[in-house]
């Protein structure tokens, strides 16, 4: 009986507490830099597309909302011909970002993506691609990968020794 009265009193005292509600459209909540919101495709510091169209994000995606098509430019550099994310299916799990070997696909702290038409939730590459490097300003996949593309031969990547000349090993 006493506990009931004490509960009533304690709840009543909450009338004088500060309210925790954030009045959304006027006040915005702070979203951390790691927040999993709208997905973007970033570029490397040289301004080239980071995505190498490896399909790993599409495979990792639990709801299959990423569609892309790989292609190659004249220098042998792979990139996606189209890259499409259907945000009406995306669950913002961030698995795509985890799977990506090049830091190309990144989730950002933006959540205001409401649309009246479902079709508008399908983002194409021109909607996804941003002009900067996103969360990893210095990373450049092609500069550290040991793959040969136009303008960069084997052994020219950072922290990569030149390939061994097999003939010089002959006695």
Partner 1 sequence: MISPYPAVTLIAVLFGALTIAGGLVWAERRLLALWQDRYGPNRVGPFGLMQTLADMIKLFFKEDWVPPFADKWVFIMAPAIVMFTVLMSFVVVPFAPGIIISDLNIAVLFFLGMSSLGVYSIVLAGWASDNKYALLGGMRAAAQMLSYEVFMGLSLMGTVLLAGSFDLVDIVNAQRHMWFVVPQFLGFVLFMIAGIAETRRLPFDLPESESELVAGFHSEYSGMKFGMFFVGEYIGILLVSSMITVLFFGGWRGPVLPPIVWYFIKTCFFLGFFILLRAALPRPRFDQLMAWGWKLMLPLSLANLLVTGAVKLAFFH
Where does this chain bind ligand SF4 (CB under 6 A)? 39, 51-57, 60-63, 65-66, 68, 85, 90-96, 99-100, 102, 104-105
- φ, ψ of residue 10 in degrees (nearest 5): -60, -40
CA atoms within 13 A on the CB side of 49: 21
Q: Considering the rule CB under 8 A, would residue 113 count as an interface residue with partner 1?
A: no
Choosing among ligand SF4, partner 1, none, which partner's interface includes residue 145 (Cβ < 5 to 8 Å by kind)?
Answer: none
Q: Which is nearer to ligand SF4, 35 or 92 (CB)?
A: 92
| Sole residue written with tokens 């006695």 | 171
Burial tier of 10 (Cβ tally within 10 Å: 0-12, 13-18, 19+):
exposed
Q: Considering the rule CB under 8 A, would residue 19 count as an interface residue with partner 1?
A: yes
Q: How far is the CB of 83 from ligand SF4 (least distance, A)?
A: 7
Q: Which stretch binds partner 1 (CB under 8 A): 8-16, 28-36, 122-130, 156-164?
A: 8-16
Which helix (H) or strand (E) covers residue 82, if one does?
strand 78-86
């Amino acid at each position: 009986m006493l506990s009931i009265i004490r509960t009533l009193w304690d709840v009543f005292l909450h009338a004088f507490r500060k309210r925790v509600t954030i009045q959304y459209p006027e006040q915005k909540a702070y979203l951390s830099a790691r927040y999993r919101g709208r997905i973007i495709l970033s570029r490397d510091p040289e301004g080239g597309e980071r995505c190498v169209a490896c399909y790993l994000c599409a495979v990792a995606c639990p709801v299959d909302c990423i569609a892309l098509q790989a292609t190659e430019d004249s220098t042998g550099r792979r990139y996606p011909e189209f890259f499409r994310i259907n945000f009406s299916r995306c669950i913002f799990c961030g698995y795509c970002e985890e799977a990506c070997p090049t830091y190309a696909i990144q989730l950002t702290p933006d959540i205001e993506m409401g649309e009246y038409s479902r079709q508008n939730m399908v983002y194409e590459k021109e909607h996804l691609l941003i002009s900067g490097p996103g969360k990893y300003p210095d990373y450049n996949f092609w500069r550290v990968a040991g793959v040969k593309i136009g303008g960069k031969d084997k052994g020219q990547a950072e922290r990569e020794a030149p390939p061994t000349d097999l003939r010089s090993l002959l006695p």
